[in-house]
Structures are given as structure tokens and as C-alpha cells.
Structure 1
Amino acid sequence: MTQVRRSDVARAAGVSPAVVSYVLNGGPRPVSTDARRRVEAAVAELGYRPNKVAQALRGTRTHSIAMLMPDHLNPHFAELAQAMEDEAQRRGYVLIIGTAANDVEREQSYLRSFLDRQVDGVVLISASAKPDVHELERARIPLVLLDRAAGGSSHSSVVTDNRAAAALGVRHLQEHGRTRLRFLSGPADLEPVRDRDRGWSDTTGDTGHARIWRSDFSREAGYRAVRHALSGTGPDFDGLFTASDAQGIGALKALREAGVRVPDEVAVVSLDGTEAGQYTLPTLTAVVQDVSNLAAEAVKILVSHSSDPATGPVHHILQPSLRRLDSCGCGSSLA
């Protein structure tokens, strides 16, 4: 089968090959509505597919972006990846996804692989508190730090207001009359975790973090942490806030196995608001991160940086909301 070339599309549409390029690449020059329609019709009729590898070798955009996350089993990261893919597809980009498995060396290997594929930009949820991105910087590949980043960074970032999110969850427990609270937080070296700790301290006055436990962001870690805390005579707390849905799901299992009634004896609120929390028993009240908006802002920034590399870093901090379900005592909103 003969390969369809750009010149074939131009001939069928009655335009120059340059105009075909402008339509397919979104610029750099404007194209009339009529010419655009004729080019799009010719592309569809001839089944033309641009050679992205050849474009990359010529130094033009590949219309591909990469996302690297620490753990695909965490429901929050899984939903972020899906939202990123949806947003990239909507904008005409292919998304390449890698999982570092919380391993810094594996993260570096993925970043080098993304460079080899000449992606137009990278969205990074790093496994490290201080990710090594010097190779991306040297290659001038646009980078957006997502979910785990602090404003003021030399790289663009999109995050939820973690301090406000923690405060919102703790206040809700207090509104239910819970006074003996515990916080199952995450690894203390991560900036978002430190912000969540600050939100806890703001609301409880526990500035010394005496009532904070720590674990990784996983269901197993949340289960083990709460199981260990219940190994004595029973819970010495009547409210539990967890720094992630994954930990919250594990905590619910530990409480149930120990015979602790949720929310009657212990009310539970988590932070993330993933779909998985709507199918636990009881359903999980959560402070919700807007993954669709996080993804949309991250892709928007990457596309902007790719089109204009001189654009300076952009920092977006999104506000959380509260989803009231069964684990706090509010009752389920599901039909």
C-alpha cells in the first residue's frame, strides 16, 4: 500500500503543503476556515497519518506528553492518570504513563526514556521530595510538578491546597463532636504532607504532632498503622483523619476487624475523594481533590510552555471540597 504524504493531502485539498502543516500542528500561521475544512476532509478521505518520529527529528513537536507517578495502585494517582489521559486526548496529544514504584532510580530511568522519545513535556508526581530533573532542564523539556509540589518552585506546579484540605477534614470531625482525634499522616519529607500536618495543627492546636501517626500512602500501610494502634485495650480516639483515601480504606478494614464500630465509636474522614471510597463499608467521607481540574491545568501549562518556551513558571493552587458519606456519621449520598 502506497504511503499517503503531506503533498498528497495538499493536492487533494487544493492548498500548499505548508498550509497542511499549519492545520495539523496548530500554527504557527492562521488558516482560513474554508481551507482548514478542506484539509481536514482530505486527511480523513486519504487516511493520512503524520510521521511523528520524522517530525521529532526535524525539531518540531511530537504531540506527545509524559506523566510519571509514584504508584499506580493508589486510587488517587490512578484517577489522576485517567484524567490526564482524557485531557491530553481532548487536546490532540498522546499521553505516555510511567510508574516509578516509589523508587528514585526507576524514576530517573523513566525521565531519560521520555527524553529519548522527545516528548513535548512532562508531568511529574515525584517519588522524591527533591526530584532530579536536570536532564529535562538541559534539554529544555517543559515540566509541570503535579500534586507534590510547592508554590515558588522554579518549575510550574499544580496542587491542591493541602493545608486547607486537612483543616477542612479535621473541622468536620469536630463538627460531629469528636474531641479525641488522631491523624494518620504520610511521609514527613514530602512538602504536601508537611502542609497537611500544618492544617492539622492549625485546627487542633497539636503543634508538637503528638497525635500524629505516619505511614506510606497505601491501603496496607494504613491497615497496619491502625491495627497496631488497636493492639491494646481498644481505641483511645473517637475521630480519625487520614492523609489519603488509600490509608483510610486500610484503616476502615483494621477498625472493622477489631470490632470498632464506624462511625458510632470512631468517625473517619480521609483526604482525596476517590471513587473507591464510595464503595467501602461504610462509605468513606473525604476531602475531595478535583482531579479533572488538576489534570486540565497541568496539560494547559505544558501546551503553553511547549508553544512558548520563554514562558515563566506558573503555580496553581486548587481548593478542595468535602464529600459527606457514612464514615463520619453524615449518611451516604449514593442512591
Structure 2
Amino acid sequence: MKKPIHHRTTRADVAKEAGTSVAVVSYVVNNGPRPVAPATRERVLAAIKRTGYRPNSVARALASGTTKTYGLVVPNIGNAFIASLAHELQQQALANDMVMLLGDAGDSRKRELQLINNLLGQQVNGLFYISVDRHPYIDVLQASGTPFVMLDRVDPALKVNVIRVDEREASRQVTAHLLSHGYQEVGIICGPAERLNSQDRLCGWRDALLAHGVEERPEWIFHTPYTRDGGYQAAQRMLQGATRPRALFVSNEAQAVGCIRAVSEQGIRVPHDLSLVCFNGTDQSAYHVPSLTTVRQPVREMASTAIRMLTAWKGEDTLSEFSHQLEIGESCGCKLAR
């Protein structure tokens, strides 16, 4: 027995159901350009509901000049901070009657460029962008004429819209908090050496050590991917060394979780035996055991500002810098009885 063939409901079907012309249906769907009598409009809307008609978004975009979509390109959505920022951008976009299309580069620059070109080909109204290694494809975006906002630091000479937190200063502050406990043996688990944000966080750690007169130990600098497994592997390398630090700055939340798992397998307790602070904490930081002392970025405020930047875009470049927040948890040792 042959399956019934279902055809897509068209405006002609709606017009036939409502007893009007296709043109009148178009005026109702597009809210113009010609007025439609209230009674006729109600008849068309009722016909749309009965037939299940859905307007063709591509055709509407061609007619109106807007797709009502934004694009978001990120290095890796598995990163909890990036996921939280993407969530807030999505909510803000929906509140502005826009749809967000997500592009996850999987830490690949080649895939990042492919995603950008695909989103531009879909005529998105604007693009939010975090580059894999802070060497973004600005020339491609500028050539397209599409409004875009960078969601992290880039070279100021590029003259583009940017929202950011000063990651070097934030890293300095959270490391300084760790040093305020009196530790002299302080290491760092940071991101890949070639990443600019890894370099910023490493410089912030060094700034804090220098200000507190603490010696930097090159053997306690561990570069690793921004993942739980990266933190786990870096901690294992640390434990295999001839000496190990008494305190650590870990450059993102996922790395911190992996690090704590690795040291706990060897009976090392955080913060009793190893104090730890991290960068780019999320809501998850408070629910880890121990809870993490971390730097938090104002994700909701950043997302709201980024949406406003695209909405009001007129071709100019704007920098919006946000203050970070130091959130005290258990991992640094503050809450231990003394």
C-alpha cells in the first residue's frame, strides 16, 4: 500500500480556504505593503491556522531584506564558560525576536573559517565571534559588510566591536588572592602556549608573583588544553616531577576539575595539601567539591551589551570592557579553620 504524499501548504491553499487572492494572503503574512480589512485579515488568519501554513522564511528574508538570525562562532561549546555565554546570547536574541545559529569550531581554525563562510552565506543579520586562537578572520567579515562583535580581546589596531574582560588583570588578582595566604611555592596550569588568552593568564600569574616577591619556577608551568582531561594530564605531569607546588592557579574551570580528580587519586586533598584557584568559573564552580575560588565574568551583562552593539551597529568600532568578580570558594583554603 502506497503511503500518502503530503505536500507543503502554500499561500494558494490558504487563499482558496479563505476565499481571497494570494496577494491578500501575502499582505497579511508580511503585514503589508497594502492594508487588509479587519474581517478579511481574520478570515486569512483562521485559514492559516486550519491549513497549518508556515511562511517560507527564505522568501520572507528576500522580501524584507532581513533573515532575523544571528550567527555565533565559538572555539568549543564543550567549554562551560563558552556554553554559559552562548546560552545568554541565545536568550537575549530570542527576547529581541531573533534566532541564533551556533557554529562550534571544535578548536579548529579551518572549521572556524568554514563556519563563518557558511553563516555569511545564510545572510545572518550579524555575527558574534570568539576565535580559536585570537587570530580572527576579520578580513572575511569586513569584506562581507556583516555587522559583528568579537567576544574577547583582539588587536586594537583591527578597529572592530569588542566586548571583553581584562584577563591578565583578572588572573593577577586571583593569583594575588592565593598568595595572600602566604604560599611561596606556586605553579600554574594554563592553556596551550600559542593561545593569546593563555599568554594573558600566564602574564597575570607572573605579575602577581613578582608583586609578592615569589620566585617563578619554570618546571611548575604546565601548558595543556582547556579541558578536564587537559587539567588531569597536567596534574599527573606535576605529580611526576621531583618537586610539586603547594598552590596552583588553574586557567579555566574545566582544567581545575580535572586537576582535582588527578591529585585526589593520589590522596592529595584540596585545599588541605594543595590550594587552588581558577579562571572563568561558571555556576558549576559553587557545586564542585570543594567549591572553587574563581574569577567570574558578567556573562548576562556581556551578552546583553553584545546584542545591543549589533542592533545599533552603524559601521563604527566600539570597545566595552567589563569588570570581573572574584568568587571565594573552598579550594583556596580561605574557609579552613585556622
The answer, yes or no, to whether TM exceeds 0.5 is: yes
Tell me: CA distance 1:131–1:167, structure 2 relative to 1, closer, same or farther (3 Å).
same
Matched position secondary structure for 1:17: coil
Query: Partners in 1 of 2:27 and 2:81 — Cα distance?
Result: 45
Query: Partners in 2 of 1:43 and 1:189 — Cα distance?
Result: 57
Which ranges of structure 2 fall in alignment gaps of 5 or more residues? 1-8, 15-21, 36-40
Within the candidate set 273, 289, 302, 1:294 is matched to 302
Query: Partners in 2 of 1:326 and 1:156 — Cα distance?
Result: 37
Query: 8 Å contact 1:9–1:46 — kept in the other structure?
Result: no
Cα deviation, 1:41-73, whole Å, max 9, x if unaligned, reads x98996696643124334712110010111121
Query: Residue 229 of structure 1 aligns to which amino acid in structure 2?
Result: M
Partner of 1:62: 67
Map 1:37-186 → 2, pairs under 5 A:
51-58=56-63, 60-186=65-191
Query: Partners in 2 of 1:294 and 1:199 — Cα distance?
Result: 22
Query: Partners in 1 of 2:161 and 2:321 — Cα distance?
Result: 11
Partner of 1:229: 238
Cα deviation, 1:243-267, whole Å, max 9, x if unaligned, reads 1111111111111112111111211
Shift of residue 140, structure 1, vs aligned partner:
0.5
Shift of residue 187, structure 1, vs aligned partner:
2.4
- How many equivalent residue pairs? 307
Which ranges of structure 1 fall in alignment gaps of 5 or more residues? 21-38
Tell me: CA distance 1:265–1:136, structure 2 relative to 1, closer, same or farther (3 Å).
same
Partner of 1:325: 329
Partner of 2:32: 17
Partner of 2:19: none
Query: Partners in 2 of 1:126 and 1:246 — Cα distance?
Result: 19
Partner of 1:25: none
Within the candidate set 247, 250, 253, 1:245 is matched to 253
Query: Partners in 1 of 2:287 and 2:276 — Cα distance?
Result: 15
Partner of 2:315: 311
Query: Partners in 2 of 1:111 and 1:321 — Cα distance?
Result: 32
> Which structure is larger by alpha-carbon Rg, 1 or 2?
2
Tell me: CA distance 1:233–1:19, structure 2 relative to 1, closer, same or farther (3 Å).
farther
Tell me: CA distance 1:231–1:207, structure 2 relative to 1, closer, same or farther (3 Å).
closer
Query: Partners in 2 of 1:303 and 1:122 — Cα distance?
Result: 11
Tell me: CA distance 1:11–1:125, structure 2 relative to 1, closer, same or farther (3 Å).
closer
Query: Residue 317 of structure 2 aligns to which amino acid in structure 1?
Result: P
Map 1:266-277 → 2, pairs under 5 A:
266-277=274-285
Map 1:29-44 → 2, pairs under 5 A:
none
Query: Residue 32 of structure 2 aligns to which amino acid in structure 1?
Result: P
Query: Residue 226 of structure 2 aligns to which amino acid in structure 1?
Result: F
Query: Residue 107 of structure 1 aligns to which amino acid in structure 2?
Result: E
Shift of residue 302, structure 1, vs aligned partner:
1.6
Shift of residue 152, structure 1, vs aligned partner:
4.6
Shift of residue 160, structure 1, vs aligned partner:
1.2
Q: CA RMSD in A?
A: 3.1
Query: Residue 294 of structure 2 aligns to which amino acid in structure 1?
Result: A
TM norm structure 2: 0.80
Query: Partners in 2 of 1:11 and 1:109 — Cα distance?
Result: 38
Cα deviation, 1:132-159, whole Å, max 9, x if unaligned, reads 2433222201121113535453221111
TM norm structure 1: 0.81
Query: 8 Å contact 1:76–1:274 — kept in the other structure?
Result: yes
Tell me: CA distance 1:86–1:106, structure 2 relative to 1, closer, same or farther (3 Å).
same
Tell me: CA distance 1:180–1:208, structure 2 relative to 1, closer, same or farther (3 Å).
closer
Shift of residue 9, structure 1, vs aligned partner:
8.4
